[in-house]
Amino acid sequence: MDGALVDANRTLGVVRIIEGCISSDPYWVDPDSEGVEIGALVTGPDDIADVDGDVSARHARIWFDGAAGGCWLLQDLDSTNGTIVVSGDDGEPLRVASGETAQIHPGDELRLGATTVFILIEGSADMV
């Protein structure tokens, strides 16, 4: 899916997984927004604080970049315990270095710290 164009009318859902089971409704990320942050102490109205104790206060950021060909991006915000994106296509893990950005896609798995896991899904703009 690398380089695939994304429909800008589609939102990205971030679903928490605990012990292999869905444990949350999707947290929807609107492609027209500034994105969301994930972390233990995030406070924005759409930010995601549904994380375990080893996740940094401001761990990662997700947003849609229309200027980069229309893709979803994740940035590690200098987290202490790391961010890994596991490709939904081939299962290959990619460690996102501190401060670096990686392209993400529906179907990918996000691992923040040792135990916080999210799955990315796609939805429609009316779900936001």
**pLDDT tens for each residue of 41-95:** 999 999 999 999 999 999 999 999 988 678 999 999 999 999 999 999 999 999 9
Q: How confident is the prediction for the chain on average, in pLDDT?
A: 91
Question: Residue ranges of the domains in the chain?
Answer: 10-127
Is pTM beyond 0.85? Reply is yes
Query: Own/partner pairs for 86-93, CB < 8 Å, 24+ apart?
Result: 86/110, 86/111, 88/1, 88/120, 89/1
Residue 108 belongs to what H/E stretch? none
- Span 10-127: which CATH code? 2.60.200.20
DSSP state at residue 80: S
pLDDT at 123: 87
